[in-house]
Amino acid sequence: MLKEINPELIMIRVSGYGQTGPYHKKAGFGTPATAFSGYTYLQGFTDRHPVSPPFSLTDYICGIYVAFAAVTALYNRDISKDGSGQMVDIALYETVFRMMEFLVAEYDQLEKVRERAPGLAGHSSPSGTFQTKDGHWVVLVTSTDTTFNRLAKAWIEKIC
């Protein structure tokens, strides 16, 4: 009906689990959507229960996706020859799941199911949060040969 009144209208729909499928009627809240995406399952220590993030991760990420979708739809409408608007549909859980797309490829190519691990386990080495000699905390990630070599050089210079 709104589209009939204004064919250039851009509409963004956000739901917890999409407009179709077995969960489309369920209420959409960030924390359950985070768990449904698989993110919660991966967080925490292997010998303990999964841990949800202590803030509204999915709500924030979804907001970014909504803003990007709106701007993209506006751009498309403004450059297209027919000037028509769009309906954009975003499910909360999809925004976090999209950030973990490497797990889909890892499963597809290696048949590996990633399990819960603290920090950045399995991606880079060394990586994580480390306490310094003077009691402070630093976050360290050596995800490339260059960063590892720089760390090794700094360590060697320190001890020599």
Query: 105 and 58, same structural domain?
Result: yes
Burial category of 14 from C-beta neighbours within 10 Å (exposed 0-12, middle 13-18, buried 19 and up): middle
Residue 140 lies in a domain: yes
Q: What is the mean pLDDT of residues 7-31?
A: 93
Query: 143 and 76, same structural domain?
Result: no
pTM of the shown model: 0.74
Residue tagged 């000699």 (tokens): 133
The total domain count for the chain is 2
Range of the domain at 145: 127-159
- Segment 86-98, tens digit of pLDDT: 999 999 999 999 9
- Residue 101, SS3 per DSSP: helix
- Residue 75, SS3 per DSSP: helix
Residue 119 lies in a domain: no
Residue 115 lies in a domain: no
- Segment 106-144, tens digit of pLDDT: 899 999 988 887 766 566 677 778 888 899 998 888 888
Query: 141 and 69, same structural domain?
Result: no
Query: 83 and 10, same structural domain?
Result: yes
Residue 116 lies in a domain: no
Residue 12 lies in a domain: yes
What pLDDT, on the 0 to 100 scale, is given for residue 62? 96
**Quick check: 86 and 10 in contact, CB under 8 A?**
yes
Catalytic residue among 47, 59, 78, 82: 59
Task: Give the lowest-confidence range in 5-9, 12-16, 33-37, 137-141.
Answer: 137-141
Residue 77 lies in a domain: yes
Query: 95 and 36, same structural domain?
Result: yes
Query: 80 and 24, same structural domain?
Result: yes
* Mean pLDDT of the residues in the chain: 89
Within a 10 A sphere around the Cβ of 148, how many other Cβ atoms? Answer: 15
The rounded percent of the chain whose pLDDT value lies above 90 is 54
What pLDDT, on the 0 to 100 scale, is given for residue 129? 83
Query: 48 and 15, same structural domain?
Result: yes
What pLDDT, on the 0 to 100 scale, is given for residue 157? 85
Whether 59 is a known active-site residue: answer yes
Residue 101 lies in a domain: yes
CATH code where residue 91 lies: 3.40.50.10540
Buried b (16+ CB within 10 A) or exposed e, 79-90: eeeeeebbebeb
Query: 135 and 106, same structural domain?
Result: no
What pLDDT, on the 0 to 100 scale, is given for residue 13? 94
Residue tagged 């990007």 (tokens): 68
**Quick check: 116 and 45 in contact, CB under 8 A?**
yes
